[in-house]
Amino acid sequence: MKKIHYKNAHLNSTRLIYGCMRIAGDNNPADKAKGKLALRAALEAGYNHFDHADIYGGGHCESLFGEWLNELKQETPAIREQLIITSKAGIRFEPQRYDFSTDYLTTSVENSLKRLNVDYLDMFLLHRPDYLLNAEQVAQTFQQLKASGKVKHFGVSNFSPSQVNLLQSALDEPLLVNQIEINIHNISSLTDGSLDQCQQLGITPIAWCPLGGVAYPAWGNTFSTDDEQRIATELTRQAEQYNCQPWQVILAWLLKHPANICPIIGSTTPKRIIAAKQALIIEYSHADWYRLLEARNGYAQP
Ligand SMILES: NC(=O)c1ccc[n+]([C@@H]2O[C@H](COP(=O)([O-])OP(=O)(O)OC[C@H]3O[C@@H](n4cnc5c(N)ncnc54)[C@H](OP(=O)(O)O)[C@@H]3O)[C@@H](O)[C@H]2O)c1
C-alpha cells in the first residue's frame, strides 16, 4: 500500500490507517472474533498503522488488539516492529472532562501499553484539547515519556492551529500529526487554517470519520434531504466515471488534498477494509474535486 513518510521521524505509515475504535463491539465472544478478523484483513491488505485510544470500548479495543498481537507473534515474531501503533489519551469521564496532567497522561500511556501488549507506542496523541492546557507541563510529560522509552513520537487530535502553535512552541521536537474530523460534511479544516498549517509545518493530517455524511450521518449533521440528494447524484456520476463505489470517491477526494490527508478506515467489514485501497489508485481530477464541493455546498464557487 502507498506510504507516507512522517517528516522528522523514521516512520513510514500507510496512507490508509486502520481505526480500532469499533473492533471489540460489545466485547462478547462473537464481536471479538469479528474484530480479530477485521484486524487480520487490515494487516493482510497492507495497513501498517493502527489507531487506538485509551477510551475505545472502555479499554477493550486495546486489550483485544493486544490479544491478537500476541497470537500474531507466534507466527511472525518480529511483527511488532513492522507496525505503527498509535494511541491517545486526555479524555476522562465522571465527570467528562479533558485532562493533560502529567499523572493522568503517564498513567494512561502505561495502561495502554499493558493492554496492547507492547513496550512502546510509536505515536501518542492528545485526544482533544484541554482548555487548561499548560504547554510547558505537557512538554515535560512528553520528555519523560520519551526518555522512559514508552513513546517514540507525539501528535495531537482535534487541535486548532493556534493550539498546535502553542504546544509546538514548548516542545523540542515536532508534532507529527493532527487527527481531525474531515469528511464531505465537515470541511472546516479547508478554511480554518488546519490543513494550511499541516502543509507549512510538515504535520500529517489524519482524517477521522472520513465517510461521515455519505456512508452514515456525520457528527452534528446539518445536511438537508436536498443536500444529500445533490451529493448523492454527483457521487453516483463520479463513481460511474471512475468505476468505483461512491464512498471510494469520497476517500479519493480527501487523498487529493496536497496536505497528504491520511483517512482512518474504521469499518469492521473485511471487504470494505480491503476495498478502501481502491481509492489510492483513482486518478482523481481537480475538476471533479470542485464539482463535489459544489454539490456539497449547493452553490458554485464565487
Ligand atoms: N480522534 C478522534 O477524536 C476520533 C473520533 C472518532 C473516530 N476516530 C478514529 O477514526 C476511526 C474511524 O472512525 P469511525 O469508525 O467512526 O468511521 P468509519 O471508519 O467511517 O466507520 C463508521 C461506521 O460506518 C460503517 N461503514 C464504514 N464504511 C462503510 C461503507 N463503505 N458503507 C457503509 N457503512 C460503512 C462501519 O460499519 P461496519 O463496521 O459494519 O463496516 C462503521 O460502523 C476510528 O476507528 C478511530 O480510530 C478518532
- pLDDT, residue 10, reads 84
pLDDT at position 154: 98
Residue nearest to atom 36 of ligand 1 (CA): 267
**Cell numbers that stand for 75 in this block:** 507466527
Confidence (pLDDT) at 238: 98
Bridge partners of 19, per DSSP, are 51
Q: Closest Cα to residue 175, out of 123, 220, 136? A: 123
CA of 14 to the centre of ligand 1 (A): 17
Alpha carbon nearest to ligand 1 atom 19, residue: 266
3-224+250-268 CATH, one of 3.40.50.12780, 3.40.50.150, 3.40.50.1970, 3.20.20.100: 3.20.20.100
Q: Which pLDDT score, from 0 to 100, does residue 7 have?
A: 76
- Provide the annotated active-site residues: 56
pLDDT at 95: 87
Q: What is the pLDDT of residue 47?
A: 98
13, 269, 278: which to mutate for ligand 1, most atoms within 8 A of CB?
269
Ligand 1: which residue has its CA nearest to atom 16?
A: 209
CA–CA separation, 212 and 251 (whole Å): 11
Q: Ligand 1: which of 13, 16, 18, 21 to mutate, judged by most atoms within 8 Å of the beta carbon?
A: 21
CA 103–ligand 1 middle distance (angstroms): 31
User: What is the CA(171)–ligand 1 centre distance, in A?
Assistant: 32
The pLDDT value recorded for residue 94 is: 83
Per-residue pLDDT of the chain (302 residues; tens, 9 = 90+): 999 998 778 899 999 999 999 999 999 999 999 999 999 999 999 999 999 999 999 999 999 999 999 999 999 999 999 999 999 999 999 889 999 999 999 999 999 999 999 999 999 999 999 999 999 999 999 999 999 999 999 999 999 999 999 999 999 999 999 999 999 999 999 999 999 999 999 999 999 999 999 998 899 999 999 999 999 999 999 999 999 999 999 999 999 999 999 999 999 999 999 999 999 999 999 999 999 999 999 999 88
Domain ranges of the chain: 3-224+250-268
Residue nearest to atom 30 of ligand 1 (CA): 215
Q: Ligand 1 pocket: which residues have CB below 6 Å?
A: 19-22, 51, 157-158, 179, 208-209, 211, 215-216, 247, 264-269, 272
Nearest CA to 116 out of 206, 23, 37 is that of: 23
Quote the radius of gyration of the chain (alpha carbons, Å).
19
